[in-house]
C-alpha cells in the first residue's frame, strides 16, 4: 500500500504531528510505502529552521527529519503556505523541500490512500 500524508497543524499541535509520524513509522514497519508527507496551512511552520521546542515536548520537526533520514520519506511543504509563514528556500530546516500543489496532486494520483492530519 502506498500512502500520501498531509499535515495541516502547527508544530505545537503535538497530537496531529505525532499521529502522522506514528502512522508513517507503523506503515513502514509493516512494509507499506510513504510516498511523501505534505505540510499544508499551519503545517508549513514545522519546516522553520529556528523552531524553539522545549526538551520536554514532542519535537515533530525532528520526528519528520528522522523519517526522512532513516527511511527516505520526502517531506514537502506547500510553497504558498510556507511564504505566508516565513518559510522559503533560504529559510528552511534540513530534510524539508518546498513543493507546490501540482506535486501534491501528482503524488495523490499515485498513492493508494491520502490521509490528512488536522
pTM, full prediction:
0.95
Q: How confident is the model at residue 72, as a pLDDT?
A: 98
Show Cβ contacts of residue 10 under 8 Å, excluding neighbours closer than 6 positions.
Answer: 42, 43, 45, 46
List 78, 98, 107, 111, catalytic entry: 78
Give the chain's domains with CATH numbers.
2-117 (3.40.1260.10)
Distance CA 53, CA 48 (A): 12
Query: 105-109 long-range contacts, Cβ below 8 Å, gap at least 24?
Result: 107/4, 107/35, 107/36, 107/38, 108/4
For strands 75-78 and 33-39, give the pairing.
parallel
- The candidate with the shortest Cα–Cα distance to 42, out of 81, 3, 6, is 81
| 18 pLDDT above the threshold of 90 | yes
Examine the pLDDT at 114 and tell me if it is beyond 80.
Answer: yes
Distance of alpha carbon 95 from alpha carbon 69, whole angstroms: 7
| 3 state SS of 45 | helix
- At 88 the pLDDT is 92
The answer to whether the beta carbons of residues 60 and 54 sit under 8 Å apart is no
pLDDT reading at 21 higher than 90: yes
Mean pLDDT of 6-35: 94
d(CA 8, CA 10): 7
Instruction: Give the model's pLDDT for residue 12.
Output: 78
pLDDT of residue 13 exceeding 80, the answer is no
pLDDT tens profile 37-96: 999 999 999 999 999 888 888 899 999 999 999 999 999 999 999 999 999 999 999 999
pLDDT at 34 over 90: yes
pLDDT at 1: 98
Active site residue 78: yes
Amino acid at each position: 500500500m502506498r500512502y500520501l500524508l498531509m499535515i495541516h497543524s502547527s508544530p505545537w499541535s503535538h497530537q496531529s504531528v505525532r499521529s502522522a509520524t506514528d502512522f508513517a513509522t507503523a506503515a513502514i514497519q509493516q512494509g507499506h510505502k510513504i510516498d511523501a508527507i505534505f505540510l499544508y496551512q499551519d503545517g508549513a511552520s514545522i519546516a522553520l529552521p529556528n523552531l524553539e521546542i522545549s526538551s520536554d515536548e514532542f519535537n515533530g520537526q525532528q520526528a519528520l527529519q528522522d523519517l526522512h533520514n532513516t527511511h527516505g520519506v520526502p517531506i514537502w511543504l506547500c510553497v504558498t503556505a510556507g511564504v505566508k509563514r516565513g518559510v522559503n528556500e533560504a529559510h528552511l530546516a534540513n530534510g524539508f523541500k518546498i513543493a507546490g500543489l501540482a506535486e501534491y496532486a501528482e503524488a495523490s494520483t499515485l498513492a493508494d490512500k491520502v490521509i490528512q492530519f488536522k
